[in-house]
């Protein structure tokens, strides 16, 4: 069970980042669709499960396809790094009143220091962060439920499927594609330390927890529709100073875990440590831009490209009948 917990925490740590912990991406991809958001969350969770399970077994024998895939992971890692660096700086500015540049630089220093200690350090920090996050989210949800804040907002929702539901399915599709590819380098790294059976069981548990966490946070956001236009809606929902402090701390730590996952993506794509460092520095400099704008523009772009990449991998698997990635 200790191994399963370590794997689940590491997978969740890769997927749960700035947009998740602040509520921004959950609002953008789910909450704004009101009652349909719960269906979209379920759809996304199933897709994440299927894609991650596929990643455990696939193998690409074609050098061209493997080169294209590694190039995408490289581009994907760079873009996500830019967003995460920006998010860390935005958090420091919004909740501590400190310059975004200072906190972005702090994020860079901390992430590089942790990553130098290898995969074990990544696993250990994820175990702590995910445990704190789950306990905090559950406590806040139960507190809101006790105050009838959750039940009240459900009375205003009409649970019926509208005709435009198919037009909006692209949002959960992009969400699941992006986050699955974000976790790929981590899953690939875990295969070197754990058995496939342990990883597959962990993927099942991770998918259930993703659905559960998304649903809880989405419900809380729907109960406070007046603040959904902010950059960090989840962090504004909670008014208790201590709980808000814990949430902000979780957000900082979760951004770090996502950055570590992207460092693993860089290591998978390129084998030159000097080139990796140069790319990280460029991502850091670009990360001084505004978080919300970066998240919405780059997230969707990489999601669309990711759909093509996964389609290419599926086609490769069907044609070559070989399902283990080199």
pLDDT attached to residue 298: 66
Given this model, what pLDDT does residue 49 score? Answer: 92
Is the entire prediction scored with pTM above 0.85? no
Give the residue from 298, 52, 61 showing the smallest Cα distance to 177: 52
The answer on pLDDT for 231 being more than 60 is no
Average pLDDT, the chain: 78
CA distances from 275 to 115, 231, 262, 267 (A): 16, 33, 14, 10
Distance, in Å, from the CA atom of 183 to the CA atom of 24, rounded to the nearest integer, reads 19
Percent of the chain with pLDDT over 70: 78
pLDDT attached to residue 46 = 93
Say yes or no to pLDDT of 325 above 60.
Answer: no
Looking at per-residue confidence, does 258 or 146 come out higher? 258
d(CA 112, CA 259): 9
pLDDT in tens, 105-139: 888 898 888 888 877 877 888 888 888 888 887 88
Name the most confidently modeled range: 234-243, 246-255, 305-314: 246-255
Say if residue 214's pLDDT is above 60. yes
User: At 208, is the pLDDT very low, low, confident or very high (cuts 50, 70, 90)?
Assistant: very high
pLDDT cut 90: percent of the chain above it = 5
Task: Name the token pair of 267.
Answer: 């290591």
- C-alpha angle 287-19-140 in degrees, rounded to nearest 5: 135
Kindly tell me if the per-residue pLDDT of 228 is higher than 90.
no
Q: What is the pLDDT of residue 314?
A: 74
CB of 261 closer than 8 Å to CB of 190: no
251-298: pLDDT as tens digits: 888 888 888 888 888 888 888 888 888 998 888 888 776 655 555 566
| Position with higher pLDDT, 165 vs 304 | 304
Q: 50 vs 94, which has greater pLDDT?
A: 50
Higher pLDDT, 149 or 216: 216
Structure tokens at 139: 């406590």
- Confidence band of 225 (pLDDT split at 50, 70, 90): low
Measured from the Cβ of residue 43, the count of other Cβ atoms closer than 10 Å reads 17
pLDDT (0 to 100) of residue 204: 92
- Contact, 115 vs 263, CB < 8 A? yes
Mean pLDDT over 149-174 rounds to 62
Residue 3 confidence (pLDDT) = 85
- Top mean pLDDT of 11-25, 76-90, 137-151 is at 76-90
- The single-letter DSSP state of residue 186 is H
Q: Walk me through the domains of the chain, giving residue ranges and CATH numbers.
A: 2-320 (1.20.1740.10)
């Amino acid at each position: 069970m200790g191994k399963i917990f370590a794997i689940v925490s590491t997978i969740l740590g890769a997927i749960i980042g700035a947009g998740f912990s602040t509520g921004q991406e959950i609002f953008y991809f789910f909450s704004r669709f009101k009652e349909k958001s719960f269906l979209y969350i379920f759809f996304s969770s199933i897709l994440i499960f299927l894609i991650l399970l596929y990643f455990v077994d696939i193998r690409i024998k074609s050098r061209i396809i493997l080169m294209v895939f590694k190039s995408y992971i490289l581009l994907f890692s760079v873009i996500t790094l830019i967003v995460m660096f920006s998010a860390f700086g935005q958090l420091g500015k919004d909740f501590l009143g400190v310059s975004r540049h200072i906190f972005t630089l702090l994020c860079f220093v901390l992430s590089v220091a942790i990553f130098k200690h290898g995969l074990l350090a990544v696993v250990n920090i994820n175990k702590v962060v995910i445990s704190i996050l789950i306990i905090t989210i559950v406590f806040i949800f139960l507190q809101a439920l006790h105050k009838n804040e959750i039940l009240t907002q459900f009375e205003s929702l009409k649970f019926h499927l509208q005709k435009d539901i198919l037009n909006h399915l692209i949002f959960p599709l992009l969400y699941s594609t992006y986050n699955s590819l974000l976790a790929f380098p981590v899953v690939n790294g875990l295969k070197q330390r754990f058995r496939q059976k342990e990883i597959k069981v962990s993927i099942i548990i991770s998918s259930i927890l993703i659905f559960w966490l998304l649903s809880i946070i989405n419900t809380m956001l729907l109960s406070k529709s007046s603040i959904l236009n902010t950059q960090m809606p989840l962090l504004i929902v909670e008014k208790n100073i201590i709980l808000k402090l814990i949430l902000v701390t979780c957000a900082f730590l979760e951004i770090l875990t996502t950055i570590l996952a992207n460092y693993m993506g860089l290591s998978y794509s390129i084998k030159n440590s000097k080139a990796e460092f140069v790319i990280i520095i460029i991502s850091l400099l670009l990360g001084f831009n505004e978080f919300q704008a970066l998240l919405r523009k780059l997230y969707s772009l990489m999601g669309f490209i990711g759909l093509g990449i996964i389609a290419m991998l599926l086609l490769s698997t069907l044609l070559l009948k070989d399902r283990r990635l080199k």
